[in-house]
Structure 1
Amino acid sequence: MVLGLDISSSVDRAEDALQRGGVASALLDERVQEAFFASGLPVALAVFEWSGRYNQEVLMDWRLIHDQSDLAVAAETISNSRRSYAEFPTAMGDALRFAAQMLNRSPRCLAQTIDIAGDGESNEGEGPQQVYQDAAFDAITVNGLVVANAADFQTPARLTQFYREEVLHGHGSFMIVAEGFNDYARAMRDKLERELAVTVVGALP
């Protein structure tokens, strides 16, 4: 699983702090930690930030999450990270390609997931549906964390519609909506718990 954090120009300093703190808080949440360890197998986790076409930076490279201490280190790494850029637009297609390249060098996993978070539509370079034509995305699921903005309180909700129609990709993909950056931590907790939950195929009484 690779998490992509939006640091485009629409995200100010305070919102960026809420975003990083939200990820760190989610990784330390008891329910999320239970979900991480539910399968009995380690989860490979990486985190990067993204904005313009050529503006992606790894915040935490691949780390196998075996236990709570690994999650504590991951949370501290993200909490202490510092934003690389603040003035570039929203090139989501390039962010997705960057994430796919990261997955290409990840530990071998049963599933590959990209989590792309953002507060705006893609407005530079290729859009998500264009990059999904690449065979590299055939086995990748892309989920979204939508940070609702002013346009999303209109009818139709523009940003959530964009994520639903253009960003979500692969079997079982879904999105979680944060009602602004103040709600980011809660949304990230809910998303990680849902993504990591073990699917029950069948059961007997």
Structure 2
Amino acid sequence: MAARFLALLLLGAPAQGAEPEPVAVELVLALDASASMDRAEFDLQLKGLAAAFRDPGVLEALANIGPTGVAVAVTQWGGDNEARVILPFTHLRTARDARAFGFRISRARRAFMASSTSIATAIAHGVEIIDTNSFAGERRVIDVSGDGMDNGGLNLDRARDTALASGIVVNGLPIDADSVNLAAYYRNNVIIGTDSFIEPASDFADYARAIREKLIRELRPLDS
């Protein structure tokens, strides 16, 4: 996996000797692009996420988090070693920054349609880009959205343990469109770290509400 992401990591790493920029939160928003997501379902993820960065509650949370703001990246993930940054870490301090970021999300395109669902890849990739970017967050979070259980070949427990060892919290947004109690699976097998949580969506139409509520919790003031 390291070789696969080498060019990305070199681009995202701070210059030698440069001090990382402090932010309240480093946040990776990892979107499911596996084969179980058809085009309409994936578009609902993008549209819901873009709308969240225009939502008054999310904008209020950003305003309350403090002057250093947050650094947010958006990725897509699918099968083993299939993950891609679609929006690199961007520093958001103001409502204008957030709205502009939301517009960029709305213009994003699907990078691939993977044949399997490797949540381990989503987490491992998120750890790499958090550990190598030019920001230093007081909180470091990977937010995994998906509509299925991990069925890839990578070890999910190992990926979670790596995140925990790096001081990174993994939260989850299970989209339970197939009524398989995906929330319980995410709670027991995906999230990890202090104050980690899930925000379930009952189906794809409910994703916009769930990601909005999730962002408000993830962008809470540090002392709350």
Structure 2-normalised TM-score?
A: 0.83
Q: C-alpha deviations, 1:26-46, integer Å up to 9, x for none?
A: 111000011012121310111
Aligned equivalent of 1:131: 159
Q: C-alpha deviations, 1:86-126, integer Å up to 9, x for none?
A: 24210111111100001012301111000000000000122
CA distance in 2, matches of 1:134, 1:177: 24
Aligned equivalent of 2:112: 85
Q: Which structure 2 residue ranges, 5 or more long, are not aligned?
A: 1-26
CA distance in 1, matches of 2:40, 2:156: 27
Secondary structure of the residue that 2:121 maps to in structure 1? helix
> Does the 8 Å contact 1:142/1:173 carry over to 2?
yes
CA distance in 1, matches of 2:223, 2:158: 34
Structure 2 residue corresponding to 1:182, chosen from 205, 210, 216: 205
What is the Cα deviation at residue 135 of structure 1? Answer: 6.7
CA distance in 1, matches of 2:196, 2:219: 13
Identity %: 34
> Does the 8 Å contact 1:8/1:86 carry over to 2?
yes
In structure 2, do the counterparts of structure 1 residues 168 and 15 end up closer, same or farther at CA, with 3 Å as the change threshold? same
CA distance in 2, matches of 1:132, 1:86: 24
Kindly tell me the number of residue pairs found equivalent between the two proteins. Answer: 196
Q: Which structure 1 residue ranges, 5 or more long, are not aligned?
A: none
Matched, 1:66 2:89: no
Q: How does 1:13-24 map to 2 (within 5 A)?
A: 13-24=39-50
Aligned equivalent of 2:137: 109
Aligned equivalent of 1:5: 31
Moved more, 127-136 or 66-75: 127-136
Aligned equivalent of 1:147: 175
Q: C-alpha deviations, 1:104-162, integer Å up to 9, x for none?
A: 1230111100000000000012242122233764401000001013242xxxx2x1121
> Does the 8 Å contact 1:6/1:119 carry over to 2?
yes
State the one-letter code of the partner of 1:48: T
Structure 1-normalised TM-score?
A: 0.90
CA distance in 2, matches of 1:31, 1:194: 10
CA distance in 2, matches of 1:140, 1:71: 23
> Does the 8 Å contact 1:49/1:56 carry over to 2?
yes
> Does the 8 Å contact 2:163/2:169 carry over to 1?
no
CA distance in 1, matches of 2:168, 2:78: 21
> Does the 8 Å contact 1:92/1:128 carry over to 2?
yes
CA distance in 2, matches of 1:178, 1:116: 13
Secondary structure of the residue that 1:96 maps to in structure 2? helix
Matched, 1:196 2:219: yes
Aligned equivalent of 2:122: 95
What is the Cα deviation at residue 200 of structure 1? Answer: 5.0
> Does the 8 Å contact 1:53/1:95 carry over to 2?
no
Structure 2 residue corresponding to 1:160, chosen from 154, 172, 183: 183
